[in-house]
A = this chain, B = another copy of it.
Amino acid sequence: MATSTVENYVKQIYLLQPQAGPSHLVAMGELAAALAVVPGTATSMIKTLAEAGLVDYEPRAGVRLTSRGEKLALHVLRRHRLVELFLVQTLKMDWAEIHDEAEQLEHVISDRVLERIDALLGHPTVDPHGDVIPSAAGSMPRRRLVALHDLEPGTSGVVGRIADQADAFLQFIDQQELRPGRGLEVVARDTLGRMVRARLDHGREVSLGFGAAAKIEIEV
């Protein structure tokens, strides 16, 4: 059985993966910082995880989860998010104090207890922060995502996925403040000029060509 430490490592890699470049490799420094250990510790621990088949490790480049590693990460995330919801919903705890509690509990909740909590809460799909709760089978439920350039004006939604891993494009997305999680509403769409205009949830507006908008997937 995986120790808490192992679970924390794979979980953290999973969470950092989206921010990683097109290689999907999480840098050692970033990982170490996120886990609050010195870089050398992360290096040696990652070697152990690689032995165990949970990650692919490319020295001096970074780490990436194997499918087994990802499965474990999703399992931990499921526990974490169900526990958070449980703390808020059943135990009426304060929104702000649940994260650290869940951080501890996520490592000792058995499958049996977890499924009881899941049932008690009515098989929820999102946690209090709006993060999707992975399914018991160990996969994230599929979300219905629509490319931004396919949305009619007036439609609103939340950025769910960026379907292009190129460095430059991701930097552009960052600059435009279009990272996943950002809410927006389409205000104009010109099929002949092949461009779309959206107002972000904090008021700012952005214009994009269809070529770029096609790669931005929205949860309507």
Q: A residues within 8 Å of B by Cβ?
A: 87, 90-93, 97, 101, 104-105, 107-110, 112-113, 116-117, 120
With A97-B112, A104-B108, A104-B110: A120-B90 Cβ-Cβ less than 8 Å: yes
Select from chain B the residue with minimum beta-carbon distance to A120. B91
**How many protomers of this protein does the assembly include?**
2
Task: Report the 10 A-B pairs with minimum CB-CB distance, sorted nearest first.
Answer: A91-B116, A104-B108, A108-B108, A101-B113, A105-B108, A101-B110, A93-B116, A91-B120, A91-B113, A97-B112
Contact of A117 among B91, B107, B108 (CB under 8 A): B91
Task: Among A93, A108, A110, find the residue whose CB has the most chain B CB atoms closer than 10 A.
Answer: A108
Partner of A90, one of B90, B105, B107, B112: B90
Shortest C-beta distance, A114 to chain B (Å), equals 10
In the complex, what distance in Å separates the CA atom of A116 from the CA atom of B105? 15
